[in-house]
Structure 1
Amino acid sequence: MEAVVGLLVMLLAVSHGVETKCDVRQKDGAQCYGALGGTVFLQLMDRAPERLAIDKNNNHIFRWKNYKIVNKSNEDKYSFTPSDGMFRISNLIRADTDEYRLIIHNSSGALLEERTLQLSIQAPVLSARLVSECLSQGEMRVSCSSEGGDSPQYSWSLDGHTLTEDKLLSGNHKTDSITLRQGVEGALVCSVKNHVSHLQKYHKISTCGFIFINCTGSNETRITQWMFAATNTLCVELTTIYTTVDPSLICGLQTAVAALLFSVVAAYFAWRKKKSQRAEGSAMPQERQDAETSV
């Protein structure tokens, strides 16, 4: 019981000052909402008539006659602005949820108009919380929960756009729990709202460490699947290694090659010249000397 009382006190403290507005001009049976502990502004008409009465459970809670307030049951709770026809109910509690009847007469007492409106009081959503969990194959389960708030409604968006079915493995963009497909990443937002409040919770999601591989395995079969990057042994990407060589070293090598080539050419021509000279010497006749005439 103490916990319930504490929660109610917290709700009243948080929702204090929360204001809602409902336009019921020329509408019969309008549905209006107010925040627990807050204030609701009911736009009844453009300006005050000669005579006006507002009933709740067939009891007058406010009366206006000859352009002045005749009576109202609770001055701190009910107020009326004749210049713009605005009726205000403050310090809203659960008991304010009811049907209200608006009765308008002319100066002679003839009934001009009668309308009803339904006022519902809701506790606003206090907070929202996101919890995410990576699954075995790279999917991600995300749940959104809220504290306080009557009849909360949930919706999801990804990178500023409504979450579409192609991103979802289960659930839809209006449930409180969803499962995202493999490879979905971005800014995920859960919105929680009711008729008197609206909260959003942001969560940055990634691929849970999974990568999509597309390669040829060792047995020449094509592999296309999602798997955890840290344990990937099916595909090993070949990396090209680039070596940076000093330009001066390249220039030195070019010079050495040119010098070697020049030496080979020079040696070749020297050998040809020597061979030619030997051939000429062999072709000249040699004089024979007699032993008798030789000195």
Structure 2
Amino acid sequence: METVFVLLMMTVGLSHGIEIHCDARQNGTQCYGAVNGTVSLRLVEKIETGFEYRLAICAKSTDGCINEEVFLFKKERFKPKDKYEKRSSFNDSSGTFDMRDVTRSDEAQYVLEIFDSVGKALQTLSISLHLFVQAAVSPPKMSSECLSQGQMSVSCSCQGDSVRYNWTLNGEPLMDRHLFSGHLDTQNITLTQALSGVLACGVNNHVSSYITVEDIKPCPGKLIECTLSNGTHIPQRWVSDNDSLCATTATTLVTAIASEYTAHIAASLAALLLLLVVAGGIYCSEKKKKKKTEKSTGADAEDVTYADHRLVQSADTRVRRAERQVDSGADAEDVTYADYRLVQNADTRVRRAEPERQVEYGEVKGSKVGGSGGQHNADSTEEESIYAIVRV
């Protein structure tokens, strides 16, 4: 008969009630159980009617492997050996063998042999498994201690076989930057300064696991580094909260920084105020200048128009006098030409004035030269007489 080996490893726990299920139907299976716990082994898919099933421990010897029977299932009856009778059972509907109150002596290599109804061994259905025993982990106990430089030493202790450790801080895996010394997969670590939050230590092995948490706070004290007023440099160190070694320097530094910022702010505000005053002065000056220019321009135009109007009026009077002299036979050419030049100069000055003032001048000229009382024809005759006299 050819035996096929299946490795069944059973882990042992420290507490009662731990039950481990293992599917041992495949070749090379490893199963774990707990000390004082229960291991449930699925040996076959189903029990065939009339078949015989025998589970044995392969006890090693100089001659090889000697099988020591654990139980025999034959003719639908379960027959365990004496040392397993009170702590084992077999479920023929599922092909599962349960072993309770497991001890370290139960760790061994197991072989299942199957025979048909005529007693012929079926080698293709024969399997072998190994049962490994481990102690379950206990709930861990965590302790912490503050060190002289503000670091925190933390220890997580528990009992059990092949214990694995993992650490978290505030629900996130602890990182290397959080460690001053130690490794994340060990039970003792040293945290860096000023860490706080919920620190959790998790422990586990193949059969059990536990987590314990502790709310940690930064160690009392503070980190300082300064240069004293006498030039002495104080290197970085952790001191108690009431230490005043760098207190004066720190206060002086804060005061100096505050004074510097205050001076800068005051200078900035003064410059801004000066700019506002200058801008306001320029604006007011330009506004006044504009108003004065507009007023002066209006007044000048009015003066020029009025002066020219007076010249025209005077010349008109003199022309009329000249006409009367001509009528009386006097020499009026020189007088009339001089009066004409006065009229011409006045007209030129009026045209140089603003368009609005030119309109005003036109109105004044028409009213003054033309006279009053609707004497337009007479005025026109007088103007023609002026130019006629000039041409003589």
The percentage of counterpart residues that share the same residue type is 38
Tell me the CA shift for residue 216 of structure 1.
8.7
Letter in 2 for 1:39: T
> Does structure 2 retain, via aligned residues, the 8 Å contact 1:212–1:224?
no
Equivalent position of 1:180 in the other structure:
191
Letter in 2 for 1:54: L
Equivalent position of 2:140 in the other structure:
128
> Does structure 1 retain, via aligned residues, the 8 Å contact 2:113–2:121?
no
Tell me the CA shift for residue 89 of structure 1.
0.5
Q: Distance in 2 between matches of 1:190 and 1:113?
A: 45
Are residue 19 (structure 1) and residue 19 (structure 2) matched?
yes
Equivalent position of 1:273 in the other structure:
none
Q: Please show how residues 124-203 of structure 1 align to structure 2 within 5 Å.
A: 124-146=136-158, 148-203=159-214
Secondary structure (helix, strand or coil) at the match of 2:153 reads: strand
The RMSD of aligned alpha carbons is 3.0
Tell me the CA shift for residue 134 of structure 1.
0.9
Between stretches 71-80 and 137-146, larger displacement belongs to 71-80
Give a deviation string over 1:73-126, Cα, whole Å, max 9, x none. Answer: 133222111222221001112211111112233434241322222212233233
Secondary structure (helix, strand or coil) at the match of 1:231 reads: coil
> Does structure 2 retain, via aligned residues, the 8 Å contact 1:27–1:115?
yes
> Does structure 2 retain, via aligned residues, the 8 Å contact 1:138–1:226?
no
Secondary structure (helix, strand or coil) at the match of 2:156 reads: strand
Alpha carbons of structure 1 residues 223 and 119: separation in structure 2 relative to 1, 3 Å:
same
Q: Please show how residues 39-78 of structure 1 align to structure 2 within 5 Å.
A: 39-49=38-48, 50-56=51-57, 57=59, 58-66=67-75, 68-69=76-77, 71-73=79-81, 74-78=84-88
Between stretches 119-128 and 218-227, larger displacement belongs to 218-227
Q: Distance in 2 between matches of 1:42 and 1:207?
A: 50
Equivalent position of 2:294 in the other structure:
none
Q: Distance in 1 between matches of 2:235 and 2:197?
A: 23
Alpha carbons of structure 1 residues 63 and 213: separation in structure 2 relative to 1, 3 Å:
same
Structure number having the greater helix percentage: 2
Letter in 2 for 1:177: N
Q: Distance in 1 between matches of 2:140 and 2:183?
A: 18
> Does structure 1 retain, via aligned residues, the 8 Å contact 2:16–2:36?
yes
Residue segments in structure 1 that go unaligned for 5+ positions in a row? 1-10, 241-295
Give a deviation string over 1:1-47, Cα, whole Å, max 9, x none. Answer: xxxxxxxxxx99x622221222222232x222222111111122332
Q: Distance in 1 between matches of 2:184 and 2:166?
A: 5
Q: Distance in 1 between matches of 2:78 and 2:40?
A: 21
Q: Distance in 2 between matches of 1:191 and 1:95?
A: 29
Q: Please show how residues 238-253 of structure 1 align to structure 2 within 5 Å.
A: none
Tell me the CA shift for residue 55 of structure 1.
0.7
Q: Distance in 2 between matches of 1:43 and 1:160?
A: 38
Q: Distance in 2 between matches of 1:187 and 1:130?
A: 12
Give a deviation string over 1:119-141, Cα, whole Å, max 9, x none. Answer: 12233233422121111211111
Letter in 2 for 1:194: N
Are residue 83 (structure 1) and residue 93 (structure 2) matched?
yes
**TM-score normalized with structure 2 length:** 0.51
Letter in 2 for 1:33: Y
Q: Distance in 1 between matches of 2:44 and 2:95?
A: 5
Alpha carbons of structure 1 residues 215 and 65: separation in structure 2 relative to 1, 3 Å:
same
Q: Distance in 1 between matches of 2:25 and 2:142?
A: 41
Instruction: Give the count of matched residue pairs.
Output: 225
Equivalent position of 2:336 in the other structure:
none
Tell me the CA shift for residue 222 of structure 1.
11
Q: Distance in 1 between matches of 2:97 and 2:228?
A: 76
Q: Distance in 2 between matches of 1:160 and 1:226?
A: 30
Q: Distance in 2 between matches of 1:140 and 1:166?
A: 14
Are residue 207 (structure 1) and residue 218 (structure 2) matched?
yes
Q: Distance in 1 between matches of 2:42 and 2:233?
A: 69
Question: Which of the pair has more CA radius of gyration?
Answer: 2
> Does structure 1 retain, via aligned residues, the 8 Å contact 2:46–2:93?
yes
Secondary structure (helix, strand or coil) at the match of 2:242 reads: helix
Q: Please show how residues 245-264 of structure 1 align to structure 2 within 5 Å.
A: none
Alpha carbons of structure 1 residues 206 and 226: separation in structure 2 relative to 1, 3 Å:
farther
Tell me the CA shift for residue 64 of structure 1.
2.1
